Amino acid sequence: MDTKEEILNAAEVLFARAGYHAASMRAITESAGVNLALVNYHFGSKEALLEAVIARRLRPVNELRLRRLQEIRSRAGERNISPDLPEILRAYIEPVFGTGESERGWADFANLIGRAFTETDETAQKILLRHMKPANQLMLELLGAALPDLSGQEVFWRYQFLIGALGRAIRMNSSPGYERLKKNFEADSETLIRMLVSFAGAGMGSGERREGLR
């Protein structure tokens, strides 16, 4: 592993466990076993380091998501039919699950995402939302087309519930801290993907309709 990766790994863990504001550059350099000058050489600033941590995880995932979602939209348009909901959900969920190593890394990253939306410092939140914007927009478009009986409000919130369920699944599947809780209920990645698609599909397609939430 090269020095840059060591710095990114250390920063990801500390940003996830302490938060962006509380994770000092000194703590990051000590964890990575490098000096501050080297971090500045590779990244320039703490915010740029956070940007790199987020981009490392999200860019390849979102590129794959967008490619698959765009293909779904194109096929539906060519056939003049509504896009298939399970196919949309799988295209969004599946790219997060990869090799065991990548999944372990996502456990801390999922915590980083959770912190970004609960801390008063909005730096991480703004970076995350910027990286997620294209995928979010396309997902909402396709979900709306697949679920024409649901209002935009309902589609938006059910999409948020999907994101929450996905984050929980990632943390439980990747973090050693959940081993005791999920004892006797271990599941491989494909099984988790299938269950998430089934769960989200049932939730997306049921409940209150156009008249709004009650």
The token pair at 141 is 């478009």
pTM for the complete prediction? 0.84
Tens digit of pLDDT at every position of the chain (214 positions) = 689 999 999 999 999 989 898 999 999 999 999 999 999 999 999 999 999 999 999 999 999 999 999 999 999 999 999 999 999 999 999 998 864 444 556 778 888 888 888 888 889 999 999 999 999 999 999 999 999 999 999 999 999 999 999 988 887 877 767 777 777 888 888 999 999 999 999 999 865 444 444 3
Return the SS3 of 6.
helix
**140, 159 Cβ separation under 8 angstroms:** yes
The class that CATH gives domain 57-204 is: mainly alpha
